[in-house]
Amino acid sequence: MTAPLLHSPDIFELLDIEAREDTYSRLLVNLLQHSVGLRRRVLAHGFRADPPPAESVDITLRHGLGEAGTVDVLLRDPAGHWVIFIESKLFSAEHGGQTRRYWKACEKLVAPNGRTAGIFLTIAGDPSSHSPVVPLTHRELTAWIAEHSGDFQPHRPLGIAAEAYVQRAQAPLPVAADACVVQTLLRPAWGLVPRLAGVAALGAALHRGLPGGWTHDAITIQGKGHANPGLQFWQPGWWGTWTANDRWTSDNYNIHLEIELTDGAPWRLKLHFETEPYHTLTELKALAGHADFAVMRDAFRASLQAQAGRLPRWKMSNYPFQIAKFNLDVGPEATVDQLREHLAPALAEIAPHIHTALAAAKQAIRP
Return the domain boundaries, the chain: 12-169, 182-364
Q: 171: pLDDT confidence band, cut at 50, 70 and 90?
A: confident
Output the average pLDDT for the chain.
91
Q: 5: pLDDT confidence band, cut at 50, 70 and 90?
A: very low
Q: 175: pLDDT confidence band, cut at 50, 70 and 90?
A: confident
Task: Tell me which residue of 255, 216, 240 sits closest to 350, measured CA to CA.
Answer: 255
At 118, phi and psi to the nearest 5?
-150, 150
CB atoms within 10 A of CB 285: 12
Q: What mean pLDDT is predicted for residues 286-314?
A: 96
Q: Which of 136-140, 193-197, 235-239 has the lowest mean pLDDT?
A: 193-197
The per-residue pLDDT for range 176-224, each reduced to its tens digit, is 999 999 999 998 777 787 778 889 889 989 988 887 789 888 888 887 7
Tell me if the pTM is above 0.85: no
The per-residue pLDDT for range 107-118, each reduced to its tens digit, is 999 999 999 999
pLDDT at 4 over 50: no
In 123-241, where does DSSP find H-type helix? 138-147, 156-170, 182-185, 194-207
Residue 259 parent element (H or E): strand 253-260
